[in-house]
Amino acid sequence: MELSWGNLEDAVRGCRRCKLCHGRMNTVLGEGNREAAILCIGEGPGQQEDLQGRPFVGPAGQLLDKMLGAIALTREDVYIANVVKCRPPMNRSPEPDEVESCLPFLRAQLRLIRPKILFCLGATAGRAVIGREFRVTRDRGKWVERKGFHMLGSFHPSALLRDQSGAWKRLAWEDLQSLRAKYDELKGEGP
Ligand code: URA
């Protein structure tokens, strides 16, 4: 199949590769700047995302907007996608077979967008993209470079919404500043 946004959109919309297709209202491919240097990767659609067919439009999305705003970026500056494109029931984490079935779509997005930076939000994205052993509290904030991609894992905005002590928010702020610094550093390097 020729790689194009149109083909990818059709393939995701009609996908029945895993059991998540049975419960979905809409698939959520992703949205944003298709030429972005930064690809933000979440876990999977929640209720609002499933209803609207758009990523990060619920409470976690509002926080993601604020996080991007804190480093002078908007949704239009980045592309936002998820590891799985259909909502897992009751917002559970996607299961390994669901992640495996869906990863070809994220890989296709990587080939189309060719971002410089992959910003992985939470453990599911970190494990799917950075490495199977990724753990947020241990590995967040550490840059990993592979195949020309600069990858950074941090907390998922939903986890930050639950963070009572504020300790994770402080660490997430460090990660965001590191993201901004890398973005500025790589901006000068051309496509
Ligand atoms: N959480 C995610 O991981 N992705 C979304 O799109 C929304 C909430």
What pLDDT, on the 0 to 100 scale, is given for residue 2? 82
Q: How far is the CA of 48 from the centre of ligand 1 (A)?
A: 9
Report residue 188's pLDDT band, with 50, 70 and 90 as the boundaries: confident
Please tell me what DSSP assigns to residue 94.
P
CA 62 vs. chain centroid, Å, equals 15
Which atom of ligand 1 lies closest to the CA of 42? Answer: 3
Give, for ligand 1, the residue of 25, 40, 47, 49 to mutate: max count of ligand atoms closer than 8 Å to Cβ: 49
The total number of structural domains in the chain stands at 1
- Cβ count near 9 (within 10 Å): 12
Q: Is the pLDDT of residue 44 over 90?
A: yes
**Least confident range of 66-75, 140-149, 180-189:** 180-189
- Give the pocket of ligand 1 (CB within 6 Å): 42-46, 49, 55-56, 58, 60-61, 82, 158
Neighbours of 34 (CB within 10 A): 13
Helix (H, G, I), strand (E, B) or coil at 87: coil
Which ligand 1 atom sits nearest the alpha carbon of residue 60?
A: 8
User: What is the average per-residue pLDDT within 91-115?
Assistant: 98
Calculate the average pLDDT of the chain: 97
The stretch 120-129 carries a mean pLDDT of 98
Q: What percent of the chain has pLDDT over 70?
A: 98
54 near 26, Cβ under 8 Å? Answer: no
**Whether the predicted pLDDT of 191 surpasses 70:** no
CATH assignment of the domain containing 124:
3.40.470.10
- pLDDT score for 112: 98
Question: Taking 70 as the threshold, does the pLDDT of residue 162 lie above it?
Answer: yes
pTM score > 0.85 for this model?
yes
Q: Is the pLDDT of residue 1 over 70?
A: no
Strand order in the sheet with 31-32: 31-32, 79-82, 38-42, 117-121, 149-154, 144-146
Name the residue range of residue 78's domain: 5-187
What distance in angstroms lies between residue 96's CA and the mean position of ligand 1's atoms? 17
pLDDT of 47 over the 70 cut: yes
Q: Which atom of ligand 1 is nearest to the CA of 157?
A: 1
Q: How far apart are CA 161 and CA 62, in angstroms?
A: 10
Query: Which ligand 1 atom minimizes the distance to the CA of 55?
Result: 6
**What is the pLDDT at residue 190?**
63
Q: What is the pLDDT of residue 49?
A: 98
User: What's the CA-to-centroid distance between 65 and ligand 1, angstroms?
Assistant: 12
Residue among 159, 157, 166, 2 at smallest CA distance from 68: 157
